Amino acid sequence: MTEATFEPTILTFACQHCAYAAADLAGSLRIQYPSGVRIVKVPCSGRVEVTEILHAFERGADGVIVAG
């Protein structure tokens, strides 16, 4: 009998100057992160509205990260 494994979908709003640059560098260095992580580049993490976070949950995200 096999157990079903849960793979959460995490939406990340990443500041283009900080967090997105770090994620891009990780990709360049071939550092892997889980396939359920989705990265959205935003101009500034401070401009992410609460409604955008709630919309992500409505559309099925299991978690949301706002990274600056």
pLDDT digits (tens, 9 = 90+) for 28-49: 999 988 899 999 999 999 999 9
Residue 48 lies in a domain: yes
Distance CA 51, CA 55 (A): 6
**Which residue in 11, 17, 19 sits closest to 52, CA to CA?**
11
- Cβ distance 26 to 19 under 8 Å? no
**Arithmetic mean of pLDDT, 11-17:** 95
pTM of the model: 0.85
**Which residue in 64, 67, 23, 12 sits closest to 45, CA to CA?**
67
- Cβ distance 15 to 66 under 8 Å? no
Counted residue by residue, the chain has a size of 68
The number of folded domains in the chain is 1
Containing domain of residue 29, as a range?
10-67
Residue 1 lies in a domain: no
